[in-house]
Structure 1
Amino acid sequence: MDVVLECPLTEQILASYAAVIGKDLPGYRNHVYRVLSFYTALNPQDRPPCTAVQIAAAFHDLGIWTHGTLDYLAPSIQLARAFLAERGESPLAEQVSALIDEHHKLRPYRRTHAASVEPFRQADMIDVSLGLLSFGLPRPFIREVQARYPDQGFHWMLARASARQFLRTPLRPLPMFRW
């Protein structure tokens, strides 16, 4: 297992949203690379990550900043679909949309594109849980990825955003989670 060190397409997307993400960019970038590293460890036949996964990784949480909400899955999908259309890569829209829409699914994903969606979902859960969930990845590898891509306030930003969301919608405090 190797840490993912560079994905130029992902970098291009993140750079284009740098002003919107603002001070959270280093933390979000590192979250994206932790997810990509865990994804490729869980799904080694997709190394380096395919174009759809690289695009989904960059866009999967962007709606937090572009729409100022934790109900960000639909806005993130819209941004990714617009990006794909601009590049003439609309055939990837279904897979990229599934990767983003299902990345907070609490149960295993078994539908279309499961071969990429399920390890992507698991990779994000590993990171969001700070490695408490491992989905079989060795703890030393998780720590290596975390050391290479430190948190830089990403989880603290999520905690603050979650608290704000709870105050706004106490009956739906984490709208991005799916069963």
Structure 2
Amino acid sequence: MNPLLEFPVTDEILTSYALAIGADLLGYRNHIYRVLNFYRAISGIEGLPSEAVQIAGAFHDLGIWTDQTIDYLEPSVRLATDYLANRQLSHLSGEVTALILEHHKVRSYAADHALSVEPFRRADIIDVSLGLLTFGLPRAYIKTVKSVLPNHGFHGMLLRQTARQFLRSPLKPLPMFRW
């Protein structure tokens, strides 16, 4: 499977938040694109993922920039549900909300929308772990995706944000993780 290099729904959303994301835009975009490609591979999808998955992909970490916090799940959901409401897509809000809220779940996800949430969760873990965790994806495919969609400082930004969170709240250093 060849990586896709265009996700129009995601790009449209990211364009509207380009000023908020600032210098991290390319790094975040490539993170989303890597996640969406890993999602496709895990799910066995040849074309674009569903609209809900693409929308959730764009919004899943966006609260980092819009609300300037590493505790970004709720702000990201708020942004996504506003987007859905403004486009008469509220019927997707349950799935998009689950995709965003559960993408850092430590254990497997088996509740509503599990057929999209669990592969999305795994895809994000593959990227955040820099491919150390593969969930059965061939390492060669992960390497290919990473080479055509380079990091551009995304993981460094996450480390800096996590370090700031730890200094502010050492008892809750990773508030985005769910059990």
Report the aligned-residue RMSD: 0.8
State the SS of the aligned residue for 1:162. helix
Partner of 1:82: 82
1:17 aligns with 2:17: yes
Q: Distance in 2 between matches of 1:69 and 1:171?
A: 16
- Structure 1 position 48, deviation (Å): 1.3
Name the CA distance, whole Å, in 2 between partners of 1:168 and 1:85: 34
Equivalence map 1:1-179=2 (5 Å): 1-45=1-45, 47-179=47-179
Measured in 2, the distance between the counterparts of 1:136 and 1:13 equals: 30
Whole-Å separation in 1 of the counterparts to 2:132 and 2:19? 32
Q: Which runs of 4+ in 1 moved over 3 A?
A: none
Percent identical pairs in the alignment equals: 62
Q: How many pairs were matched up?
A: 179
Q: Name structure 2 gaps, 5 residues minimum.
A: none
Query: Which stretches in structure 1 are left out of the alignment for 5+ residues?
Result: none
C-alpha distance in 2 between matches for 1:37 and 1:10: 13
> 2 CA distance for matches of 1:128 and 1:160?
14
The CA deviation at 1:80 is: 0.2
The AA in structure 1 aligned to 2:31 is H
Is the Cα–Cα contact under 8 Å of residues 13 and 58 in structure 1 kept in the other structure? yes
